[in-house]
Amino acid sequence: MKIDHLGIATKGIDEALKFWENALGLENIHTETVEDQKVRIAMLPIGESRIELLEPTSDDSPISKFLEKRGGGIHHIAVEVNDIEAALEQLRQNGMRLIDEKPRKGAEGCLVAFVHPGSTGGVLLELVQTQ
Ligand code: CO
């Protein structure tokens, strides 16, 4: 396993890139709108992992709610798994609370599923299976 990315909620990706790209020196290699999650994302590689900047595309986006409550910051940690169905089943068998019972389509054509912070000690965890 590895950390696929850290998801960071922002009010606007362009504004956030002034820090992550211009000032810190990372490079935004991929921007995409993920309709299913009502977010626009930017991916900036850092070592073998990435920073994922998230911007809401509507008022009822999960990121809008997060921004209202916390005003931005680390939103989730994403772990890459080989077999997301097997990972979900293992979590289920261990009595863990899942947000997504079934994998859904994430950025870059990946399959993703979120695990509830109530089962992880307060961290919203995203499982990612790259295609
Ligand atoms: Co993510």
Spell out the per-residue pLDDT of the chain, length 131, in tens.
Answer: 899 999 999 999 999 999 999 999 999 999 999 988 899 999 999 999 999 999 999 999 999 999 999 999 999 999 999 999 999 999 999 999 999 999 999 888 899 999 999 999 999 999 999 97
DSSP 7: E
State in Å: Cα 62 to ligand 1 middle.
Answer: 12
State in Å: Cα 24 to ligand 1 middle.
Answer: 21
State in Å: Cα 54 to ligand 1 middle.
Answer: 8
2-129, superfamily in CATH? Answer: 2,3-Dihydroxybiphenyl 1,2-Dioxygenase, domain 1 (3.10.180.10)
What pLDDT, on a 0 to 100 scale, did the predictor assign at position 2?
94
In the chain, beta strands by DSSP E: 2-9, 30-34, 39-46, 49-56, 73-80, 104-105, 111-115, 125-129
State in Å: Cα 76 to ligand 1 middle.
Answer: 7
Strands 39-46 and 30-34: antiparallel
Q: What is the pTM of this model?
A: 0.94
Domain extents in the chain: 2-129
What pLDDT, on a 0 to 100 scale, did the predictor assign at position 131?
76
Q: Is 57 helix (H, G, I), strand (E, B) or coil?
A: coil
